[in-house]
Structure 1
Amino acid sequence: MSDVQDYNSSLSDAAQSRKFETFSYLPPLSAESARAQIQYIVDKGWNPGIEHTEPENAISNYWYMWKLPMFGETDVDAIMAEIEACHKAHPENHVRLLGFDNFAQSAGAAMVVHRGKSV
């Protein structure tokens, strides 16, 4: 069996040490990577939703919803524009993208697309 890497986490460094959502163990998503993930959500027929929260509250189940989910939206540029608008309005917060699956009635995808700064 291979060695398992230790994961350092701390309450004092919530922005850098907390891990959450699908890609949080990887480097931050580039614009191209985010676009590819949005395209995947659209291709699956899922409804994109955008949420944000302060880094110290990211471990909580409750994030603030940015507007309503974008029901039926298939334009990747429109979705990216809303993500950027949320990030601009809340530059210190984490911003995540969700893909809501109508049929399973759950989130089929969830990923942080902008990481906030620790306080």
Structure 2
Amino acid sequence: MQDYQSSLGNADSRMFETFSYLPTMTAEQTRQQIQYIVDKGWNPSVEHTEPEHAAGSYWYMWKLPMFGETDVDAILRELEACHTAHPDNHVRLLGLDNFAQCAGTSMVVYRGKTV
């Protein structure tokens, strides 16, 4: 078992969701995770926030959720557009489950710059 040396005082050390404990995903691995969201029938939603506020429960919504979107490339373009518009922010993708009425998955795709 490994102890992760993370703290609120060190923004670079903070972990977000399960994937942040793993090595950084490649572009192909990210694509596969997005395909999983699409295959589950979940609606993709893009959010962003400043690194210093990432531990809070509120993230800014980037546009409306992409209801019914099944094109992985379109989802990747929205993630990139959000990152381009907010290069210093963390950008995450959620898979919203209509049946359970909650987020089925969530992953940070771009980590913002910390001060």
**TM-score (normalised: structure 1):** 0.92
- % identical aligned pairs: 75
- Superposed structure 1 runs of 4+ greater than 2 Å apart: 10-13
Q: Which residue of the partner structure matches residue 11 of structure 1?
A: 8
CA distance in structure 1 between the partners assigned to 2:101 and 2:61 by the alignment: 17
Higher RCO (CA 8 Å, separation ≥ 6 residues): 1
Q: Which residue of the partner structure matches residue 44 of structure 1?
A: 40
Instruction: Please identify the structure whose Cα radius of gyration is greater.
Output: 1
Tell me by how many angstroms 1:5 deviates.
1.7
Tell me by how many angstroms 1:104 deviates.
0.4
**TM-score (normalised: structure 2):** 0.95
Q: Which residue of the partner structure matches residue 77 of structure 2?
A: 81
Q: How many residues align?
A: 115
Instruction: Give per-residue Cα distances to partners, 1:44-95, cap 9 Å, x unaligned.
Output: 0000000011111110010000000000000000000000000011111111
- In structure 1, runs of 5+ residues without a counterpart are none
CA distance in structure 2 between the partners assigned to 1:38 and 1:6 by the alignment: 29
Q: Which residue of the partner structure matches residue 26 of structure 1?
A: 22
* RMSD over aligned Cα atoms: 1.0
